[in-house]
Each structure stands twice: as structure tokens, then as C-alpha cells.
A and B are shown apart, each in its own frame.
Chain A
Amino acid sequence: MKQFWGFVMKEVRHIMRDYRTLVILIGMPIIQLLLFGFAIRNEVTNADIAILDASKDYMTTEITNKLLSSGYFHLSAELASASDIEGVFRSGKAKQVVVFSQNFARDLYKNGTASVQIIGDASNPNMATILFGYTTSIIQDYQFQLAAHRGQNAVLPITPEIKMLYNPELKSVYGFVTGLVGMILLLVSALMTSIAITREKELGTMEVLLVSPLKPPQIILGKVLPYLVLSVINAVTVLLMAQFVFNIPFRGSYGLFFFEIMLYILTALSLGIFISTKAKTQQVAMMISLGALLMPTILLSGFIFPVENMPLPLQIISNVIPARWFLVTLKAIMLEGLGFEYFWKETAVLSGMAIVLIALSMKNFKVRL
């Protein structure tokens, strides 16, 4: 046991001495989360719009107020006539123009219908679609409010119900947080352990370690333990940032969350060990970890592209990627607050992967050169 802790201490020293790498490892989750959370997002806020209100009754005022108070829009101009519309688009003052027809409130009461025209600047089709979506849902919301207010007399408009579950505002940061946890843990666990073990081989120190009475499990566990701690620190960092910086609700149980995280870290660590039993140099270990693990994890795990939308061959390949299973459980716990019965299958797959990888690593670990 003393031997083992001596080994762990040595490993900790290696990590502390290489402070540049340490700073990257600790800082990476923070930087990436901030990048994905703030800079790269799909939703739009404070988009410039113009309003052409020909009716100017209490109803159009209410709708306008509702639009502008949503946070998505910023009123850049109030237009007086239809001929101004092209002008505001051309000058880039507005991304969208909302046009209320004359006698809006009266038409709605009398005829049961009134029209509002939404004109988008489709030179940026994504933005136009998103703004259109916001506007229609806000107007729809107003219709419901109105109907509820008027009680029985209301003629409830029949409209297709669109409800965004769990992320009603389609906030992209929700999806990124879980994906990031999967990516960062894989990076720290698999990449760093595989490099740490192959470094001993490359520098020739493995020769001396092998000739010592240290047993292979002691060497492997001693290598893994510091990175396990580092991975947990990263997981906690991301979790805290998700809650306090991005206000992402945490609906599930923390116990389950840490159980699944530990399971995933274990799988990633055993992947790292397995790579190190195969790779002879740090460079090879790094290439395998980055090329064969990181890229597929980003592209095929469902982090960026939904697995269901992939062509069948890629869907099949995605099954061997641990993060694909981990992300399902993480989303279920964090965002949906579901219990273990909903993701025991994914948990079982991850456990199976970890067991197979550990067995393979133990078998492949050479007690000789």
C-alpha cells in the first residue's frame, strides 16, 4: 500500500510540475462552456424589428408590447406607411417587420379574424425562420390569453399546438452542457492517461518500473487515480457553471448524476489504458485519442447532430461510442429529472464497455518489454 501511494504521489507531482497542461485541463471546461454557452448559440436576442401599425387600437398595442418585452426583439422604427418597409430592410435597420391591418381589434371581434403580416429579411434564412417562430408563438400566446380572458364567449382558434418540451425557449446551451461534459471527461480521462502511461514507455522509465516489485494493477491504478480526481473536478465545474452561470435547471438526483459520471469516467479511463497498452509513443497515443475518440465523440454521439438523423451506417457506428450512451443518461437526469428505470439500458451498455476494456487492458498489459 505504501508503494502504491508513493506511486500516486509521484504521478501527482508530474501533473503539478507540468502546470501548463494542468491549467489547460482545469480551464478548458470553463472556457469551452463559456464559448458554447455565450458565443455559439442558435437563438437570437434583441433583433431589430420595425412595426407598421395601421390600426393603433388597444389590441395591437398589447401585442406590440408583448413582442418587445419578450427580450427577442428591439424596436428600431415605427413605420407610417407600407412604402417605408423596403427602406428599413435596405438600410439594415430591421430584420423583420410586423404589419397590423386597419381596424385590427374590430375585425377580430366582428369577423372573428384579423390579419397580421410578418415580413422577414430572408437573406439570412436561419435568422428569419427563428424570428418568425418567435413572433408567431407570441401572437398565438396572446390569442390564448385573450380567449381565457373572455371566458365562454371566446371562439377558440384552432391552431396546431407547438410545445417545446424541457427547453421551451429552444436554448442551445442545454444541449451543449451535456455534450461538453461527455467530451471533456473523455479528453481528460482517455487522452491524459494514455499519454501518461506511454510517456513512461517512451522515456524508458517503464523498464525500471517493471523491474521493481510494483504489480501491474498498482502501476495502472496509480496512473489512473489522479486523473479520476481531475475528471471529477471538471464534472463539478461544468455542473456548477451550468446551474449558476446559465441557470440550467437540475431536475434529477445528484446521486444518480455522480454515479453515471463515475461510470463514464471509468469507461473513458479504461479506454485510455487500453490505448496505452497498444501505443508505443506519446504521439501515437495522442493521435489515437484525438482521432479515434474525440472526433467521433463530437460528431457521432448526438452532441451536435442528433443520432436519429444520421445515415444508418453512422448510426450503427455510433453505438460503440461511450458518449452516445452517456449523453442520454445525462440529459435524462439533468434536464428531464427521470429516474434510473428510464436509462438502465444505457447504464448497462456503459458498464459492459468498461468491463470489456478493463479486461482487455489487463490482458494486454505487458509485464515485460
Chain B
Amino acid sequence: MAITAENLGKHFGDVEAVKSLSFHIEHGELFGFIGPDGAGKTTLFRMLTTLMLPDTGSASVLGLDVVREYKNLRNRLGYMPGRFSLYQDLSVEENLRFFATIFNTTIEENYHLIRDIYIQIEPFKKRRAGQLSGGMKQKLALCCALIHKPDVLFLDEPTTGVDAVSRKEFWEMLKDLKAQGITIVVSTPYMDEASLCDRVALIQKGTILNINTPEAIVAEYGKPLFAVKSARMYELLGALRGFSFAHSVYPFGEFVHYTDSRAEAQPEEITAYLAGQGFTDAEAHSIKANIEDSFMALMESPSGQEIP
């Protein structure tokens, strides 16, 4: 077990940022914490990386307690904070060399780990880190977090504020790193990134709503789901909410995602109901739930934590 947490909790004043979380992460896993801003992801990461003391419960990373054995642990973990945390007035190369030095290693020694990432920013190695683009900054930060060959890597929202192409590249890199046996824990507010993880924990208001493989979480979505479309979207929402079989209704891009409370509901029943409400142009078709649908459903379920 690479990481275990038992009833881990942290509060700031009256705000419970993390509420008694328990979970396990396996060696070599690419694990994602998925949740909106303010869900408690950063606080959780700071506790796991020994930067914050938990108020309740305990956690161990690589078998080392995050409170008692923090000194040993700090040698073995890599951490990339959510905010860009490199020296803006130092060049790309100087930043990397600095982090290699303070971890008692050299760039040359562990170059094989970062090669695929570093060659992309190497043309700019004399440039100051502050003048890099968002995507390149993240690549450099990842190199700096990797240069000492950590056994476990914590990445706090590494793709926030990064363009779509760079985000995709970044996840490719994480897959390569996982192939080298590094346990990777990543947090993200982007639901679509969940499917790229081995397992994910959906987190909201300091509570884990569900932990499972992305496929299983989606499969757990028990009720029939329909994407509904009409020219008058706003009125459509109200009309669907007024449908007596409606379980949940929320806008999703150009569609409204409508969940029916009957297991055997058919799209024709919905269009028929909507036509009766004056939405003659309404279209509805059955779709498979994605992570965001699951997340919305879990958020609305009163049971809260549903850990298998």
C-alpha cells in the first residue's frame, strides 16, 4: 500500500476543510482526486506531503507516518504545488539544477526520468522561468518535482490554467511516469480527466463521495439518463423539472441532462411529455453517464460518503 489515510481531518476555525477521510492508494497507481475548487484537495495534499498537521486521524505514505516520520518521507516524495512554485528570476536550467542539488543529486544522474519532458523545454533552458508559457511552466515544475527520483509524486491541480493541448500532453507524461513504477496522486477540478486515472476519488466539501475506477463509477449510475435539447433551453429546464418522473435535471453544455426515476423510461415518453408542454422541437436520446453525471448524482444523494 503506497498511501493509507484513516479518518484524516483538518479544520480552519469553523470550516472543516477535510472531514475524516479514509482511503488507500496502491503502489504504482495513478490516482485522481476529482472535485471542484474548495473541495479540500489542496489541504489533503498538504497533509499527505507533511506540510500540514492533521487535526484528526492519521496517514502514512510509503509506510512512513506523515507526522512522526516527516523527515524521511520528505526525501522520498515529490510535490508539485497548485501554484507555480519555482523561482521566476532563475532560468529553466538553474531552477532544475537547484532542485537537483538540494535533493543531493544531479540532473545528469536522473536525466532518464525527465528526458521526455525536458527535451520539450530544453530549447528555452536559458530563459527565465517567469517568462515561460503556462504549459511550459508546468512541465518545468514537473521536471523539478521528479529530478530526485521520488517514489511517490503528488501533483496538486497540475493542469489548471493550462491549454487543452498541453493538458493532454501532460497526462501522456503522467502515463509514462506511471510506467516507470512511480505512484502518482493527482488532483484536478476537470471531470473529463477522471477517465485518465486508474482510480478516482470524487471529493466535495471535504468529503469523499465515491472511490472507484472511473468505469465502475460510471457504471454505478443506476438510472436511465437522457440528453434533451430544444430551442428554448431555459424554459425546457423548468418543464423537465416539473415532470412527475424527474429524478434530476441540470444543464450540460448544449443539452439538458435528464435522469428519470423509472428504470425502464424511454426517450419517446419524454418527447411526448415535452410536446404536451409546447416543446414540439424537443429531442431526447438515451446516453451513457459520464463522471460529471455521476458526480452530480452523488452530490445530490443525501447519504454523502459512499465508500465501497
- Residues of chain A whose beta carbon lies under 8 Å from any beta carbon of chain B: 2-3, 6-7, 9-10, 13-14, 17-18, 203-205, 207-214, 367-369
Contact = CB atoms under 8 A, between A and B. Distances in A.
A270 B62 CA distance: 37
Given A14-B87, A205-B87, A369-B46, A212 B103 contact: yes
Contact of B74 (A6, A10, A211): A211
B89 A367 contact: no
Interface in B76-114: 77, 79, 81, 83-90, 94, 97-99, 101-104
4 A-B pairs closest in CB distance = A6-B101, A204-B85, A204-B83, A17-B89
B50 interface: yes
Nearest to A207: B81
Contact of B85 (A9, A207, A369): A207
Contacts of A6: 97-98, 101-102
B58 to A, nearest CB: 16
Nearest to B67: A368
A211 B89 contact: no
B246 interface: no
Given A204-B85, A210-B51, A211-B77, 20 more contacts: A2-B104, A3-B102, A3-B103, A6-B98, A7-B98, A7-B102, A10-B98, A14-B89, A17-B89, A18-B89, A203-B88, A204-B84, A205-B87, A208-B81, A210-B74, A211-B79, A212-B74, A212-B102, A213-B104, A369-B52
Contacts of B88: 203
Nearest to B156: A207
Nearest to A209: B102
A18 B88 CA distance: 12
A74 to B, nearest CB: 55
A89 B50 CA distance: 80
Given A2-B104, A6-B98, A213-B103, A207 B79 contact: yes
B85 A203 contact: yes
B49 interface: yes
A213 B102 contact: yes
B54 to A, nearest CB: 11
A105 B81 CA distance: 91
Interface in B37-84: 46, 49-53, 70-71, 74-75, 77, 79, 81, 83-84
Contacts of A18: 89
26 contacts: A3-B104, A6-B101, A7-B101, A7-B102, A10-B98, A13-B94, A203-B85, A203-B87, A207-B51, A207-B79, A207-B81, A207-B85, A208-B81, A208-B85, A208-B86, A208-B99, A210-B74, A211-B49, A212-B74, A212-B99, A213-B75, A213-B102, A213-B103, A369-B46, A369-B51, A369-B52
Contact of B79 (A7, A208, A367, A368): A208
Interface string B167-183: 00000000000000000
Contacts of A208: 79, 81, 85-86, 99, 144-145
A212 B51 CA distance: 11
Interface in B135-185: 144-145
What class of interface size applies to chain B in its complex with A?
Answer: 20 to 34
A108 to B, nearest CB: 76
B51 A368 contact: yes
A6 B84 CA distance: 21
Nearest to A5: B101
A15 B84 CA distance: 21
B81 A204 contact: yes
B171 to A, nearest CB: 22
Contacts of A368: 50-53
A205 B103 contact: no
B50 A211 contact: yes
A50 to B, nearest CB: 63
Nearest to B100: A6
Contact of B70 (A13, A17, A203, A367): A367
Contacts of B81: 204, 207-208
Contacts of A211: 49-51, 74, 77, 79
Contacts of B50: 211, 368
Nearest to B71: A213
A239 B86 CA distance: 39
A210 B51 CA distance: 7
A367 B52 CA distance: 9
